Structure 1
């Protein structure tokens, strides 16, 4: 496997991560590691990916809960033992919650502190923990390693402060704040790791299970199919936007901060 590009995608057993893996496996000389919190879900995803017509790459799975330091350490050890290095890390695992919280006064609260802690634990702390753990393996890459952060236009201060924007307003504050914080991680790694390509991907509004309301509910709101977002992430993971690192890229172009 020494000639293959070794890619780890966190949270790749379903949704955007799965479709990102699918797109990359259509390329030759790519080995995709499906990060999955539950081993059984990872195994099922690998079986489904291997059955995709036309795939040229290879695929395996690793148990990885981005909120569990022991799980991260075990996953790192497995990747190091099996592949000795990592060429691309796609920080895709994330959660989205829209809490409906009522304050003691009976008024709706803008921020649910428990939801904020839970979302930040996955979308920010988990991303940082996985990245820090795997930086040594990325530095062993025989290529120019690539570190990809899956972000969102909902993290854009420019969009969210514009009442004319679809992202304007104060909906899903906890999620928006987490992705904005993750964007700062992206920028800091970009500035501190000159020998790596650090870059962000905005897959857009896609019909997945991330909200807990079901993909069909998101389709009813105009969401695209997850393979559309998967193609955006895969394009960036394979280097199509390497000429402009340190920014978040969507299908429409660079997402403003």
Structure 2
């Protein structure tokens, strides 16, 4: 795989990350590190990917990488492993995320509102930021210098200000606020790293049926994953410093 573009996708053992890994590997140009909190799930995902006859990939197109974005020690160990095995990283897709209950129980049982907010921000914002910082030295050694984030159209303030729609701000207020914060972090990296030749982007995959939402989404995650892939490999003039979707650039 020495001549292939090396990609790390966090949370790639299932859902959007899984299909993005599949689509990137299918180009024949990428070797994908399947990032997962449980390395056994990463290995299982690779077996399933290789067995899928609908798209041509093989187990050799992937490697498993244990990485828990909520653990600084896990992130550091993962970065060290990539450095030792490859010496660089070409593309980082920060995809791992959570979407939990949006409200505390009225009777006081279960997590408090503060704990619900903290859980969302810990993974969706702090985790992505810490992973990015840990892998930046390796990305600087890479050939393509690409940094991408899985965001959401729910992050858009313009769309959120429209009442009586799925995007209205009163729907999923905690989760969407983490994606708005993530977009700001993405934009900061886009401006800060541009002079070094980086391309930095965010993707809105749409409301896809994944474990994140109990498979309630109406869009096939394979289609949503195409936007993640676009954010990773799309032309700079189309994706840098913006959030892309299948409808084009999503308004802030």
Is TM > 0.5 for Structure 1 vs Structure 2? yes
For each residue in 1:78-108, what CA deviation from the matched residue of structure 2 results, as whole angstroms up to 9, or x when unmatched? Answer: 1111111100000000001133324579xxx
Mapping of 1:15-164 within 5 angstroms? 15-53=15-53, 54-55=56-57, 58-102=61-105, 112-141=113-142, 143-163=143-163
- When you count helix as a share of all residues, which structure comes out higher? 2
Shift of 1:239: 2.2
Structure 2: gaps spanning 5 or more residues: none
Shift of 1:170: 1.1
What TM-score comes out, normalization by structure 2 length? 0.92
What TM-score comes out, normalization by structure 1 length? 0.90
Q: Hey, what does 1:237 align to over in structure 2?
A: 232
Of 205, 209, 218 in structure 1, the residue corresponding to residue 211 of structure 2 is 209
Q: Is the 8 Å Cα contact of residues 98 and 172 (structure 1) preserved in structure 2?
A: no
- Give the Cα–Cα distance (whole angstroms) in 1 for the partners of residues 130 and 169 of structure 2: 31
For each residue in 1:49-97, what CA deviation from the matched residue of structure 2 results, as whole angstroms up to 9, or x when unmatched? Answer: 1223312771011000000001001100111111111000000000011
- Number of residue pairs matched? 244
Q: Is the 8 Å Cα contact of residues 202 and 248 (structure 1) preserved in structure 2?
A: yes
User: In the alignment, does 2:222 pair up with 1:227?
Assistant: yes
Structure 1: gaps spanning 5 or more residues: 106-110
Q: Is the 8 Å Cα contact of residues 197 and 242 (structure 1) preserved in structure 2?
A: no
Q: 1:240 to 1:165 in 2, by over 3 A?
A: farther
